[in-house]
Amino acid sequence: RRIEIKQREKLQLLGEIAAAVAHEIRNPMTVARGFLQLMKGNEAAASRFQEFVPMIMEEMDRAEAVLHDYLTLAKPFERQAEVLDLKEQLTHVVTILSPYAALYEVEIHSNWQIPQLQIHFDRKQWRLVLIHLIKNGIEAMSQGGKLDVELYREGEHAVIRIRDRGVGMHEEELKRLGSLFYSTKAKGTGRGLMICYKIIEDAQGTIHVESVKGKGTLVTLRLPLFLDKLKNGGYI
C-alpha cells in the first residue's frame, strides 16, 4: 500500500510522528534515568549496580531500536543489495523464530520443494520483512496452531505465502493495515507492517493481504527474481 499524503496533511503527520517518537523514546529514558537516580542517592541501591545495569542497557537498546525503525521509514535508506538464496533465508528465519513460535504453541510448516530461487536484496532488510510477517502470523494465533510458509516461483517472480489460522481481520481492519501507529496489540508498535510495505515496494515487490475474521490471514509476498542471465546464456 502506497503511503500517499496530501500536502496539507503533511504537517499534521509530522506532528504525529514527532509525538510518537518522543513518547517512545521518553519511556525507556525515564526508566533508565530512574535507575541512575536511585543509585545516586542511595547506598543500598548503589550496591545493586550489577543487577541494575542489564536493565538500564535493555532500556537504552529499546530506544535505539525505536530510532532504527523510524530511520528505516525515512528516505532515502541505504541499501546494500546482494544475491540471496531464498530457501536459505527462509530456513534461517524459521529457525530463529521457532522459540518464539513455541511460546505461542505455533508449529511452523515450511514448504519449499523447488530448485534454487534468488533475489537481489539487502540481507538485513529482507530478514526484517520475513521476521515481521511471520511474527505477526504467530502473534495472531494465541490458541496455537499451524502456520504455513510456502515458497514458489511464478514467472519472473518469487512468491512467498504466509498463512496463519489466527484471529483474522475485518474489511475495515484490513484497510488500516500498514498505516502509521495502527496496532491492536498491548505491546504492539504498529510500525512493523509499514516498514515491510516500504522495504518491499522500494524493491519493486508487492505485499498482498487476505483475511477472514476468526479464521486467519494469508500474506502473499511477490518479488522480482534475480535471474543470472549470463550464466544461463540468456535463457531463463
Cα 34 to the center of its chain, rounded Å: 30
Binder of Mg ion out of 137, 192, 205, 216 (CB under 5 A): 192
DSSP strands (E only) in 62-179: 81-85, 106-111, 118-122, 145-154, 157-164
Only segment of 10-18, 131-139, 196-204, 211-219 that touches Mg ion (CB under 5 A): 131-139
Binding status of residue 205 toward ligand ADP by CB under 6 A? no
Cα separation, 199 vs 53, whole angstroms: 35
User: Is the omega angle on the peptide bond into residue 54 within 30 degrees of 0, that is, cis?
Assistant: no
Interacting positions 176-195 with ligand ADP (CB under 6 A): 177, 182-185, 188-194
Closest CA to 110 of 143, 87, 81, 79: 87
Q: Is 3 helix (H, G, I), strand (E, B) or coil?
A: coil
Q: Which CB, 89 or 217, lies closer to ligand ADP?
A: 217
Is 180:109 a contact under the CB 8 Å cutoff?
Answer: no
Binding status of residue 144 toward ligand ADP by CB under 6 A? no
Q: Which CB, 122 or 139, lies closer to ligand ADP?
A: 139
Nearest distance from residue 179's CB to ligand ADP, in Å?
9
Binding status of residue 137 toward Mg ion by CB under 5 A? no
Residue of this chain nearest to Mg ion (CB atom)? 192
Binding stretches for ligand ADP (CB under 6 A): 132, 136-137, 140, 164, 166-169, 177, 182-185, 188-194, 217
